[in-house]
Chain A
Amino acid sequence: MTTITNTSASVSQEPWERYKHQPHWRNNEDEFEAAKLGMWIFLATELLLFSGFFCAYFILRMFYPESFRGASEHYLDWRIGAINTIVLLVSSWNVAVAVRAAQVGKKKLLAFNVFFASLLGIVFLVLKIGLEYIPKIHKGELPGGNFWFAGAHGYDPSAYDPMFLSVYWVSTATHGFHVLVGVLLLWWIGWRALKGHFGPKHYTAVENIGLYWHLVDIIWIFLFPLLYLVP
């Protein structure tokens, strides 16, 4: 335990200054390095999880190229997708700044960036659910066997449009779920940041959740062109 020197000159220490590693580690640095390695491995597993969706996309697009083209053009508005892309990119920048802020001990900058990133995450979800999912449900543009959209404005749905929508719904919904989890995690570290848990000597959770948020962003960077920019 770091001894807290009880002189009149010392300010009461923030929690991050008193942080002591778990007993099975030799020192704080080893524990931090191990936590980062663990998080990178976890991110690899997440990437492999999403790889199933990308694989399904590629196979089905190979089977039905014209249908995918038409479906992407008609069912998806690339402008909403583009705004969401910018939203996530900015939030990733926020998170990167947050990590730096923790490293130099700027508590307020850290907390602001974490909460702002979470706000952008919510914007992403609102745009997705409000401007994309809900209209689609009303119009029957649903995946696979649930598809009942009969056509509108001169667009005649092709037989394989439901396949495109299946891939779209499943990949974006799973991605959206990960965004939601990320927002909750950001709130958690934002709250801890305000309580002084993070500083130059200890900011493991900020680093790791930052990495997670970057992965969520990068997956969207791939989903966006594949789903929205087909035509």
Chain B
Amino acid sequence: MTTIPADTAGAHGHDDHNVSYLHPKGGFWVTVWDWMTTVDHKKIGVMYLFAILTSFFIGGVAALSVRLELFEPMQTVKNAAGDSVVTGMWPFSTLAAYNRAFTLHGAVMVFMFIIPSIPAALGNFVLPLMLGAKDVAFPRLNLFSWYIYVIGSIFAVSAILLGGVDTGWTFYTPYSESAADYGRVIAMTMGAFILGFSSIFTGLNFIVTVHKLRAPGMGWFDMPLFVWAIYATAIIQVLATPVLGVTLLLLTIENIFKIGIFNPALGGDPVLYQHFFWFYSHPAVYIMILPGMGIMSELIATHARKPIFGYKFVAFSSMGIAAVSFIVWGHHMFTAQGELASVIFSGLTFLVAIPSAIKVFNWTATLYKGSISINTPMVYALAFLFEFSIGGLTGLFLGALATDMHLHDTYFVVAHFHYVMMGGTVMAFLGGIHHWWPKMFGKMYNERWALVGAALVFIGFNMTFFTQFILGSKGMPRRYGTYVPEFQTLHQISTIGSMILGLGMLVHLAVFVLSLAAGKKAPPNPWGSLSMEWETASPPIEHNFPHEPVVRHGPYDYDNTVPPQTKPGEFPLPAPDPNAQGH
């Protein structure tokens, strides 16, 4: 906790002006109530961060159990009655149990972790600070979004506790409406429905914030690129999530009232469900990656001390990705729809790769001749560049119809989306947490051990998922709990990789806990970054800035603003002499 020297207390007459937002307002219960009823975006962001990391842990445990099960193929044995039965190691004594495990992993990771992750945890905290605002546009709606997230998560977790769902996180019909005990499916789909509202209201809040709460002098092209990315994400959140909402609502009503819109036995159309579902879920993957791309711009500019190459191209490419993301959903359905539709969707899918590639080129160009610090945020940014490129390029293999016929529903797909979602978004999220950690908590973290964690994560991740590209191209189907013996070596390497990855995450957890307990106090601007959130204390005071901030330079003006040889911690420079001729 930081108390800032009380040089302005007298002038303002109330001392919350000088106290960090983390400073407790009273005793234990007073503090608990304060956090439970806060409308401060910073506190809400911190609560989201803890909840999201907890969801990541739950989904991660599910993933590790899936990988453990796949260490050996299941055996076919004769049970007591003399029937052949497929069984694996405990607790996966049946394939149905395995199906519930990967469904749990997918549903938790998609709906409770990755979609809210960067916008809710980092976006909530950083966006108003970057704009020079005191809060988001609708602070009470923000708190409401948080509680909706909690309630939705409770629904989803209750589905797990009731015994789980085995439909896959995509809930394809008619299987997802065929269970006699459909209560668990409904718990999980309604959980996702409720979580969707949290996403919608967060997106709504961010759009209005960016339009209406920028500091004086900050035009659209003076904003950091993280803001552009969050804005584009918010547009997708607001437009796409309601379609998932109505899809899951219809699925729930199908289950309870048997309306049959998606059920072929009653005259409905199961492919209609797939269209509805993917119309949201494809834009959803851009909700996942765009904020990560926004973080990339911040990490690379700051830790290479260079303006982003092609600012406007990066900004517009975020909007372009958001726009094109709505017209490619059919590439999840190449085997379920007609040929003409597939050809059109395939072509459009190639189109959506272009803005992403523009960003990758621009970040690389930014690094060129930059003054690169090799710290944890930069290491994660470099990991993102490498892994997202692989993930994005392999998406093209899947988008091309001829190759997709062989790769569809194989491990190649699994590897592709893990490379972009984990190798992309999660790496950016981890880099962003480390980058903004000093700002959020006022403490530095142990850089050496964080780098150890990052190394383990990088090695573990690539071991886990690169092998899966090979497995997929050799024909290993996805969502299978067992496999032919030829695939075992690759599966074992993948499993060991996942354990190393898990270990890396635990190292990060330990670094964070130790930082909170005993970390060095953080200066306002440990990285020498030029975006506005660094122009206030670490952690910020409750109202963010002591006086309304004025935009004096762009977020990436390293060439013009920072003298050479300035060490990161020495920035910001002291305020200019008001009597001198200013620049």
Contact = CB atoms under 8 A, between A and B. Distances in A.
Interface of A: 22-25, 30, 33-34, 37-38, 41-42, 44-46, 48-53, 55-56, 59-60, 63-64, 142-146, 159-160, 162-163, 166-167, 169-170, 174
Nearest to B244: A52
A52 B212 contact: no
B134 A46 contact: no
Given A24-B213, A42-B204, A163 B268 contact: yes
Say which size band chain B's interface belongs to. Answer: 35 or more
Contact of B258 (A34, A46, A56, A145): A145
A146 B242 contact: no
B239 A48 contact: yes
B261 A159 contact: no
Nearest to B197: A45
A120 B276 CA distance: 34
Given A44-B238, A56-B272, A145 B204 contact: no
Contact of A144 (B212, B242, B266): B266
Contacts of A159: 267
Interface stretch (B61-69, B135-143, B447-455, B456-464): B135-143
Contact of A51 (B238, B246, B250, B266): B246
Contacts of B137: 34, 38
A166 B208 contact: no
A213 B387 CA distance: 48
B246 A50 contact: yes
Contact of A45 (B133, B241, B267): B241
Contacts of A144: 254, 257-261, 263, 266, 268
Contacts of B557: none
Given A38-B208, A41-B204, A143-B257, A24 B135 contact: yes
A109 to B, nearest CB: 30
B138 to A, nearest CB: 6
B168 to A, nearest CB: 21
B267 A64 contact: yes
B148 to A, nearest CB: 14
25 contacts: A22-B139, A24-B213, A34-B138, A34-B211, A37-B211, A45-B241, A46-B242, A49-B243, A51-B242, A51-B243, A51-B246, A52-B249, A52-B250, A60-B267, A60-B269, A63-B267, A63-B269, A64-B267, A142-B257, A144-B257, A144-B266, A162-B259, A162-B267, A163-B268, A167-B261
B200 interface: yes
A13 B381 CA distance: 58
Interface in B485-518: none
B61 to A, nearest CB: 34
B551 interface: no
A228 B467 CA distance: 57
Contacts of B266: 144-145, 162-163
Nearest to A60: B261
Contact of A52 (B211, B239, B276): B276
B247 interface: yes
Contacts of B258: 143-146
A144 B207 CA distance: 40
Contacts of A33: 212
